[in-house]
Amino acid sequence: MAYKPFDLTGKVALVTGGNSGIGLGMAEALAQAGADVAIWGTNEAKNAAATEQLKAHGRNVLAQKVDVADERQVADGMREAVAKLGRVDTVIANAGVGGGARSFAEFSTDTYRRVLSVNLDGVFFTFREACKHMVERAEKGDRGGSLVVTSSLSAIDGAARNEAYASTKGAVISMIRAIAVEHARYGVRANAVLPGWIATDMTQGAQGNEKFTEQVIRRVPFRRWGEPEDFGGIAVYLASDASSFHTGDSFLIDGGYAIF
């Protein structure tokens, strides 16, 4: 018999912030591997474009306008996804925003609160609803599920002038480890992915900056920006049965930047 643990046929994955960047790179790989996919995003035009891109792989695709910082929208969104797609096997909490300052001393409270509301509260709300669904299924004899959070290199590597962002990305690693321990009894695993310097809308301002390229990207052993498609493999692995005994871990995907 052929070894096919990466076949996601019959599985459903939900990706927050799935209409662009790393989230869309993950969603596309999941669809290519056979999963039906739900994507959450607040920009309806991006949702529509991503839907067409994902449908090209022949899978069911559900695009939902959900602001993860809004507790009610998250609960309603998860309920709708389960109702329309039948179940949710994998939830990737990827939605996030940036927000820094010229210096820590000048960091505004408004920026701090905005970053926490999406990057930390949003992950908490999303995973809480996901766990409700997965635990309920497990108690009916349908065990299993995978939770994945997009953290960041900034969680472990000092991110000057980005203290709010770095704090949220460190916090979600602790959250994922706690979820992993509590929910293993239900067959649910939980892991974090830590991207390095990736070419997305969030880093657009730095991508054409020669000084940044010289001082930062040249330090990446691969000598290039990461791309959203670089996260397809880890998404499929963590959604698949191949990772059925892998939980509470953090995957650093940065082209070797942190060790150079």
Whether residue 258 is predicted with pLDDT greater than 90 in this model: the reply is yes
Look at 202 and 6; give whichever has higher pLDDT: 6
Residue 212 makes CB contacts below 8 A (sequence gap 6+) with 206
Domains of the chain: 12-253 (3.40.50.720)
Q: What was the pLDDT predicted at 202?
A: 86
Assess whether 186 carries a catalytic annotation: no
**Residue 34 and residue 11: Cα distance in Å, rounded?**
8
Q: What angle do CA 18, 16, 256 make, to 5 degrees?
A: 75
Contact (CB, 8 A) for 165 and 152: yes
Whether residue 233 is predicted with pLDDT greater than 90 in this model: the reply is yes
Mean pLDDT of 178-186: 98
Looking at 3, 112, 165, 237, which residue is catalytic? 165
Whether residue 91 is predicted with pLDDT greater than 70 in this model: the reply is yes
Reported as a single tens digit per residue, the pLDDT across 116-163 is 999 999 999 999 999 999 999 999 999 999 999 999 999 999 889 999
Reported as a single tens digit per residue, the pLDDT across 197-208 is 999 888 988 888
Reported as a single tens digit per residue, the pLDDT across 23-61 is 999 999 999 999 999 999 999 999 999 999 999 999 999
Which of 3, 49, 58 is closest to 24 using CA atoms? 49
Q: What was the pLDDT predicted at 1?
A: 67
Mean pLDDT of 228-232: 98
**Residue 125 and residue 14: Cα distance in Å, rounded?**
14
**Residue 23 and residue 19: Cα distance in Å, rounded?**
7
Return mean pLDDT, the chain: 96
**Residue 167 and residue 171: Cα distance in Å, rounded?**
6
Mean pLDDT of 192-200: 95
201: its two tokens = 């809308």
Q: What was the pLDDT predicted at 221?
A: 96
